[in-house]
Amino acid sequence: MANERQRGAETTSVGSKRRMRFYMAGVVIFACWALYTLINQEFSLNSESQRLSDAKAQKVASETQMADLKQEIERLSDPEYIGQLANQQGMVRDGEKIIQSAE
C-alpha cells in the first residue's frame, strides 16, 4: 500500500511538472510575441515620426513661399514698383533716354 501511494505521488508530480512546462512554454511564447510587437511598433513609430517632421518642414517652406508671393502681389499693385521693373528690363518713360556705358 505504501508502494502504491509512492507511485501515485510520482505520477502526480510528473503530471504537475508537465503542466508547468506547458505553462512556462506559453509564457515564453507570449513574451517573445510581445517583444516582437514592441520592436515592430517602435520602428513604425520612428518611421511615422520622420514622415511627420518632413511634412512639417514642407509646410513651413510652403507658407514662406506663399508669404513671399503675397508680398510680390502687393508690390505689383504699386505703379512705382512696376516702373522700376520696366527700367530693369530696358524700357523707358516718355522723355527719358537710355545711357549705355562703353566697356
- Report residue 28 as a C-alpha cell: 515564453
- Report residue 101 as a C-alpha cell: 556705358
What pLDDT does residue 8 have? Answer: 56
Q: What is the mean pLDDT of the chain?
A: 87
What are the pLDDT digits (tens) for 56-97? 999 999 999 999 999 999 999 998 888 888 888 877 777 777
Q: Is the pLDDT of residue 6 over 90?
A: no
Contact at 8 Å (CB) between 98 and 92?
A: yes
Give this prediction's pTM: 0.53
Contact at 8 Å (CB) between 30 and 36?
A: no
What are the pLDDT digits (tens) for 26-67? 999 999 999 999 999 999 999 999 999 999 999 999 999 999
- Determine the Cα–Cα distance for residues 14 and 6; give it in Å rounded to an integer: 12
Q: Is the pLDDT of residue 9 over 60?
A: no
